[in-house]
Amino acid sequence: CSDKTGTLTLNKLSVDKNLIEVFAKNVEKDYVILLAARASRTENQDAIDAAIVGMLADPKEARAGVREIHFFPFNPVDKRTALTYIDSDGNWHRSSKGAPEQILNLCNCKEDVRKKAHSVIDKFAERGLRSLGVARQEVPEKNKDGPGAPWQFVGLLPLFDPPRHDSAETITRALNLGVNVKMITGDQLAIAKETGRRLGMGTNMYPSSSLLGQSKDAAVAALPVDELIEKADGFAGVFPEHKY
Q: Is the pTM of this model over 0.85?
A: no
β strands within the chain, DSSP E: 2-3, 14-15, 21-22, 67-72, 80-86, 92-98, 130-138, 152-160, 183-184, 205-207, 234-236
pLDDT tens, 54-106?
999 999 999 999 999 999 999 988 999 999 999 999 999 999 999 999 999 99
Full set of structural domains in the chain with CATH? 12-160 (3.40.1110.10), 167-243 (3.40.50.1000)
DSSP state of 214: -
Query: Among this protein's residues, is 3 annotated catalytic?
Result: yes
pLDDT tens, 123-153?
998 888 889 999 999 999 999 999 999 999 9
C-alpha R_g of the chain: 21
Task: Answer whether residue 243 shows pLDDT above 80.
Answer: no
pLDDT tens, 166-205?
999 999 999 999 999 999 998 888 889 989 998 999 999 9
Q: Which of 3, 16, 30, 78 is catalytic?
A: 3
